[in-house]
């Protein structure tokens, strides 16, 4: 029987990298995303008319489900947009998983969560199986934390296991250009020193989108159970990340000798300065993170070529096992 995996949020940043990874392995992807996105299954998971059982009838049995679908809302107010996001992030995966169990029997689920389910941690690196219970107070992190809890309750009722993959800061070709790394890279490619907020010493961890796709796919194919971090090779200070962006631009023939400048009047994001244990990911999924400089060169090439979303995959080699 042909292997087929249902992927929600298939047309987004990570979804495109996951599609490339599935295609490279000869696995069919059944993408579910909002109407007009080009997905094989045009569905709005936030709609009150969404029918999870109808989705199971449209696809038949699948090898697994990977839930990516989410809208990242940056405000903290619980407005209509935030409530729709909550449905997509927390209610839809639960309904879909239960529907596949009802229609086709036990079906493995991989839930793509986020490090923003964590708040400040007194013990670092953070253990994915024993995380701090202080999620991001904005709707995105809180909704992901709720989803994890609901899925654990459902797993007990269904008698089925599932995997949670919590990526750190995701970067790579196709990333939104307002985020820190593309801002740094664009400055360097334009011959300007990248600006780092604060004293530059707060730590961050960056995972390449194709590395995250690898972790999600391996967790699905291996039917892995538990919580795992998809992180980079190691955490670095924001200043160090900006310095590596300068070096990535140099690799493409950009200006040499650029160094980041500090802006002490603007503090860094409150959720930075965390480190993450990826030892269980390495063991369970045979995961080896891509060196940050190598990933930054991929993203710099994409930005230099015009930063078109439809070309992102051409600048990101697919990971092999």
Dist. CA 61–CA 26, nearest whole Å: 18
Look at residues 201, 249, 218 and name the one whose alpha carbon lies nearest to residue 21. Answer: 218
Question: Going by C-beta distance under 8 Å and a sequence separation of 6 or more, which residues neighbour residue 78?
Answer: 139
Q: What is the pLDDT of residue 120?
A: 77
Total residues belonging to the chain? 321
Q: What is the pLDDT of residue 320?
A: 63
Dist. CA 261–CA 100, nearest whole Å: 52
Is 97 in contact with 109 (CB distance < 8 Å)?
yes
Q: What is the pLDDT of residue 143?
A: 87
Dist. CA 153–CA 160, nearest whole Å: 10
Q: What is the pLDDT of residue 268?
A: 76
Question: Going by C-beta distance under 8 Å and a sequence separation of 6 or more, which residues neighbour residue 193?
Answer: 187, 246, 258, 259, 260, 261
Q: What is the pLDDT of residue 72?
A: 67
Q: What is the pLDDT of residue 163?
A: 98
Q: What is the pLDDT of residue 132?
A: 79
Is 181 in contact with 245 (CB distance < 8 Å)?
yes
Question: Going by C-beta distance under 8 Å and a sequence separation of 6 or more, which residues neighbour residue 263?
Answer: 195, 196, 197, 198
Q: What is the pLDDT of residue 277?
A: 97
Q: What is the pLDDT of residue 17?
A: 96
> What DSSP designation does 126 have?
B
Give me the residue spans of the domains in the chain. Answer: 4-315
Q: What is the pLDDT of residue 267?
A: 82
pLDDT in tens, the chain (321 residues): 579 999 999 999 999 999 999 999 999 999 999 999 999 999 999 999 999 999 999 999 999 999 999 976 555 455 566 677 889 999 999 999 999 999 999 999 999 999 988 877 778 899 999 887 676 666 788 889 999 999 999 999 999 999 999 999 999 999 999 999 999 999 999 999 999 999 999 899 999 999 999 999 999 999 999 999 999 999 999 999 999 999 999 999 989 999 999 998 888 776 678 899 999 999 999 999 999 999 999 999 999 999 998 899 998 887 666
**CATH classification (class only), 4-315:** alpha beta
pTM: predicted TM-score of the whole model, two decimal places: 0.95
3-state secondary structure of 64: strand
Dist. CA 211–CA 313, nearest whole Å: 13
Q: What is the pLDDT of residue 85?
A: 83
Q: What is the pLDDT of residue 44?
A: 95
Looking at the chain, the number of H-run helices and the number of E-run strands are 10, 13
């Amino acid at each position: 029987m042909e292997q087929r995996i249902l992927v929600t949020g298939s047309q987004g940043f990570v979804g495109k990298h996951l599609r490339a990874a599935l295609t490279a392995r000869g696995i069919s992807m059944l993408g579910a995303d909002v109407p007009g996105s080009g997905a094989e299954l045009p569905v709005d998971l936030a709609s009150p008319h969404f029918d999870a059982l109808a989705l199971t009838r449209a696809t038949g049995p699948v090898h697994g489900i990977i839930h990516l679908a989410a809208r990242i809302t940056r405000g903290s107010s619980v407005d209509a947009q935030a409530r729709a996001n909550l449905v997509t992030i927390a209610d839809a995966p639960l309904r879909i998983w239960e529907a596949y169990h009802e229609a086709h029997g036990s079906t493995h689920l991989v839930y793509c969560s986020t490090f923003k389910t964590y708040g400040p941690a007194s013990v670092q690196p953070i253990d994915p199986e024993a995380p701090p219970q202080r999620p991001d107070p904005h709707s995105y992190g809180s909704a992901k934390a709720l989803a994890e809890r609901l899925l654990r309750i459902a797993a007990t009722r269904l008698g089925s296991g599932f995997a949670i993959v919590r990526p750190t800061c995701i970067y790579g070709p196709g990333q939104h250009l307002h985020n820190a790394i593309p801002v740094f890279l664009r400055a360097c490619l334009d011959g300007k020193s990248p600006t780092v907020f604060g004293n530059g010493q707060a730590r961050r961890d960056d995972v390449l989108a194709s590395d995250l796709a690898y972790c999600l796919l391996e967790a699905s194919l291996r039917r892995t159970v538990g919580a795992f971090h998809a992180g980079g090779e190691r955490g670095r200070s924001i200043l160090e990340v900006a310095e590596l962006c300068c070096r990535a631009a140099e690799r493409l023939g950009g200006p040499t000798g650029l160094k980041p400048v500090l802006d002490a009047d603007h503090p860094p994001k409150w959720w930075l300065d965390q480190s993450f244990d990826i030892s269980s990911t390495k063991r369970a999924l045979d995961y080896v993170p891509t060196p940050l400089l190598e990933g930054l060169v991929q993203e710099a090439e994409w930005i230099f070529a015009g930063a078109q979303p439809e070309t992102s995959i051409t600048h990101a080699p697919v990971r092999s096992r």
